[in-house]
Homo-oligomer: A and B are copies of this chain.
Amino acid sequence: MRGRIEIAEVEPVVDCGRYAAKAVVGDEVTVGADLLREGHDHLAAAVAYRAPGERSWRETPMRLDTNDRWLGTFGVDRMGPWSFAVGGWTDHYGTWADGIRKKHAAGQTDLDVAIEDGARLLERRTDLPAAASEVIAEVIAVLRGTGTLSDKVAAATDADLLALLERHPERLDLTWSAEYPLWIDRERARFSAWYEMFPRSEGAFWPAEGDDRSPRSGTFETAAKRLPAIAEMGFDVVYLPPVHPIGRTYRKGSGGPHDLDPQPGDPGVPWAIGGPEGGHTAIHPDLGTLEDFDAFVAEAQRHGLEVAMDYAIQCSPDHPWVTEHPQWFRHRSDGTIAYAENPPKKYQDIYPLDFDTSDRENLWQALREVLEFWIARGIRVFRVDNPHTKALPFWEWVIAELRREHPELIFLAEAFTRPKMMATLAKLGFNQSYTYFAWRNTKEELTEYATQLAYGEVAKYYRPNFWPNTPDILTEFLQTGGRPAFKLRLVLAALLSPSYGIYAGYELCENVPLEPGSEEYLGSEKYRFRPREWDRSDSLAPYIARINWIRREHRALRDLSNVWFHEISDPAMLCFSKVAPGRTDPILVIVNLDPHHPREATTALDLGQLGLEGIGPFEAHDLLTDTTYLWHGPHNYVRLDPDVEPSHVLHLRAL
């Protein structure tokens, strides 16, 4: 016989348990399931769960919510692979107790047999600890005693007795669901602020047009001088594009992606990994030594910053693997190695690895060892370049393998591709993912996208990392919207998504494209050094610092599942809130999405969602400007002039 109780639609479950749902240390994980049994008998249910390495199960009770849905919650206090299952059983005594109460309430008096039925249900509980048995014995004595019916019913349905029996359930027909995986990360996997910088640009020299002097690369030592400013802006993670030797063959020139004629001194693209000096485990000699790298990492740590490395599985034609392990590459019929192509486009400076090579085991092992090499040097965060062009089973394997020793690892998937591919990478194990945020500009687009990420099926495993810009992505919105655009896109990224990042230069509102219609930067740092004047008086650095401070101060901003969109009358204004657990500490963000014009509007706040229902006037304290407004009810007037400040970030407080 199959299970006596029908258990279905267990959540959070991804692809029938093929993949793990995700949460972070400190979360309360709520498990839901439909439980069904014939007839009117009462059911009871529990979630069984265990932490990594635990053999025995712990249990937490489930409660009937509505429509045969049961919910139970447990806290997760450590990283790694947890698992859970749902169990259900018939609550025979509870059924009887409910019945006797109803019969008594309906005035039935001929209940001697019914009372004795209950006594026998208690009597058969010979499995209880002594203290519980004593309580039970007392109740049985009352039921069989000479007291009134009311006394007997009261004793039989006593809340303490029912609680005792709930703690020691009789589970004659206990039925378990399958066991489901749950992956628990450290909190940074969900809540993080990233800053992307090319270390070679810091302390570098790049000659202006007509200047004959040679370019000079920055070093880890000079780049480290930038770390205090990054920390001061409130970031958690400093992400470095590849720091390895760069290929010469087919090197791109400093003119940009179409410049196939590099000049002496053109440093090449960091993603063309590998040269005579080494490959994925070597440091570019211009940047320094491995020890310099270590020192940079240590300096970052001193400033509370984690260094994220780039993991790009591809080789320049000069990578040592090309000669040492030619079998790891696909060969063409003339014996040459196949360069990357997306016909008719050619990427001759890049050799992809062949994940299906006959020497697969050694290749995959070598790729794993690259990660292990950097892990051994203290790196725990990897931004993975184009994971959607590498074999999917490789990711599942390598992430699972490394996590066994290092559950604290964080992999950010840099896949800007089809939605199901992006979702699949997250299922396979990536802890965070880039998104389409950069191209979601309107109120409708932003609302729809954030709602899908927060409440859709993907919410169980896909953690968005919102980037308003990257070295590859200078959006039209930023190109044309000026400083207000940079401010408002920062607010949206940082306050909609618990994880977000910016690429260096954002604070200076760099927004000149290579050419009209292109998202490439003019003078892109991918092809040259780009030293910057960080101390410009118009830098957004203090603004960024303020935003990151708000993120840290307010628990509500660490999550995405709490985002809520409120109506606001202007179609170019967005109004959303986040609340801490228990609908406390509400933060309300209002953004004028139009960087060119002042906008004014009236809000229609959902006060219940904000935990402010029926409280009368309340304070709206703008955390950006330290201004306080007195608001009344759902409808409040707002005006935002983008040249002054495109956003309100309001901390709402009952008076």
Do the beta carbons of A67 and B420 come within 8 Å of each other?
yes
| Residue interface bits A1-30, CB-to-B below 8 A is 1, else 0 | 111101011000001111000000000000
Do the beta carbons of A392 and B6 come within 8 Å of each other?
yes
Do the beta carbons of B333 and A117 come within 8 Å of each other?
yes
Do the beta carbons of B102 and A40 come within 8 Å of each other?
no
A160 contacts chain B at the CB level, 8 A cutoff: no
Which partner residue on chain B sits nearest A388 by CB separation? B38
A113 and B341 CA atoms in complex are apart in Å by 14
Instruction: State whether A343 and B39 are in contact (beta carbons under 8 Å apart), knowing that A68-B421, A333-B116, A420-B34 are contacts in the complex.
Output: no
Do the beta carbons of B38 and A344 come within 8 Å of each other?
no
Which partner residue on chain B sits nearest A5 by CB separation? B392
Do the beta carbons of B38 and A418 come within 8 Å of each other?
no
Which partner residue on chain B sits nearest A344 by CB separation? B106
State which residues 309-362 of A face B: CB under 8 Å.
332-334, 336, 341-344, 355-356
Do the beta carbons of A332 and B113 come within 8 Å of each other?
yes
> Which residues from chain B contact A67 at a C-beta distance below 8 Å?
418-420
Do the beta carbons of A356 and B6 come within 8 Å of each other?
no
> Which residues from chain B contact A421 at a C-beta distance below 8 Å?
36, 68
| Residue interface bits A566-602, CB-to-B below 8 A is 1, else 0 | 0000000000000000000000000000000000000
> Which residues from chain B contact A18 at a C-beta distance below 8 Å?
8
A39 and B4 CA atoms in complex are apart in Å by 47
A455 contacts chain B at the CB level, 8 A cutoff: no
| Residue interface bits A84-127, CB-to-B below 8 A is 1, else 0 | 00000000000000111011011010000110110110000000
A221 and B104 CA atoms in complex are apart in Å by 50
Do the beta carbons of B344 and A105 come within 8 Å of each other?
yes
Query: Looking at the complex, which one of B3, B419, B420 makes contact with A393 (CB distance below 8 Å)?
Result: B3
State which residues 36-92 of A face B: CB under 8 Å.
36-40, 67-68
How many chain A residues sit at the interface, stated as a range, is 35 or more
A391 contacts chain B at the CB level, 8 A cutoff: yes
Do the beta carbons of A4 and B68 come within 8 Å of each other?
no
A119 and B332 CA atoms in complex are apart in Å by 11
> Which residues from chain B contact A117 at a C-beta distance below 8 Å?
332-333
Which partner residue on chain B sits nearest A334 by CB separation? B113
| Residue interface bits A396-420, CB-to-B below 8 A is 1, else 0 | 1100000000000000000000111
A389 contacts chain B at the CB level, 8 A cutoff: yes
Instruction: State whether A343 and B102 are in contact (beta carbons under 8 Å apart), knowing that A36-B424, A113-B336, A356-B173 are contacts in the complex.
Output: yes
A390 contacts chain B at the CB level, 8 A cutoff: yes
Which partner residue on chain B sits nearest A120 by CB separation? B333
Which partner residue on chain B sits nearest A420 by CB separation? B68
Do the beta carbons of A68 and B393 come within 8 Å of each other?
no
Which partner residue on chain B sits nearest A15 by CB separation? B8
> Which residues from chain B contact A17 at a C-beta distance below 8 Å?
16
How many Å from the CB of A462 to the closest CB on chain B? Answer: 14
Instruction: State whether A1 and B420 are in contact (beta carbons under 8 Å apart), knowing that A98-B343, A99-B343 are contacts in the complex.
Output: no
Which partner residue on chain B sits nearest A2 by CB separation? B393
A397 and B1 CA atoms in complex are apart in Å by 8
Chain B CB within 10 Å — which of A100, A108, A116, A344 has the most?
Answer: A344
> Which residues from chain B contact A102 at a C-beta distance below 8 Å?
343-344
How many Å from the CB of A245 to the closest CB on chain B? Answer: 25
> Which residues from chain B contact A37 at a C-beta distance below 8 Å?
392
Do the beta carbons of B391 and A343 come within 8 Å of each other?
no
Which partner residue on chain B sits nearest A101 by CB separation? B343
Instruction: State whether A113 and B2 are in contact (beta carbons under 8 Å apart), knowing that A36-B420, A173-B356, A424-B8 are contacts in the complex.
Output: no
How many Å from the CB of A565 to the closest CB on chain B? Answer: 25
Which partner residue on chain B sits nearest A14 by CB separation? B8
Do the beta carbons of A103 and B343 come within 8 Å of each other?
yes
A67 and B39 CA atoms in complex are apart in Å by 44
> Which residues from chain B contact A113 at a C-beta distance below 8 Å?
332-334, 336
Do the beta carbons of B34 and A116 come within 8 Å of each other?
no
How many Å from the CB of A583 to the closest CB on chain B? Answer: 29
Query: Looking at the complex, which one of B100, B105, B389 makes contact with A38 (CB distance below 8 Å)?
Result: B389
A68 and B423 CA atoms in complex are apart in Å by 12
A396 and B6 CA atoms in complex are apart in Å by 11
> Which residues from chain B contact A390 at a C-beta distance below 8 Å?
38-39
A119 and B6 CA atoms in complex are apart in Å by 57
A343 and B343 CA atoms in complex are apart in Å by 74
> Which residues from chain B contact A388 at a C-beta distance below 8 Å?
38-39
A36 and B102 CA atoms in complex are apart in Å by 57
Chain B CB within 10 Å — which of A4, A68, A343, A389 has the most?
Answer: A343
How many Å from the CB of A292 to the closest CB on chain B? Answer: 35
How many Å from the CB of A88 to the closest CB on chain B? Answer: 12
Do the beta carbons of A4 and B332 come within 8 Å of each other?
no
A476 and B334 CA atoms in complex are apart in Å by 84
Do the beta carbons of A40 and B393 come within 8 Å of each other?
no
> Which residues from chain B contact A397 at a C-beta distance below 8 Å?
1-2
Do the beta carbons of A2 and B396 come within 8 Å of each other?
yes
How many Å from the CB of A312 to the closest CB on chain B? Answer: 14
Do the beta carbons of B6 and A424 come within 8 Å of each other?
yes
A98 and B342 CA atoms in complex are apart in Å by 10
Contacts beyond the supplied A38-B392, A103-B344, A106-B344: 10 A-B pairs with Cβ under 8 Å? A2-B393, A6-B392, A34-B420, A36-B421, A38-B355, A40-B389, A103-B343, A113-B334, A113-B336, A172-B356
Closest 4 CB pairs of A and B: A106-B344, A16-B16, A99-B343, A116-B333
Chosen A-B contacts, 12 in total, with CB atoms closer than 8 Å, are: A3-B393, A4-B391, A6-B424, A8-B15, A38-B355, A38-B390, A38-B391, A39-B389, A40-B342, A67-B419, A113-B332, A116-B333
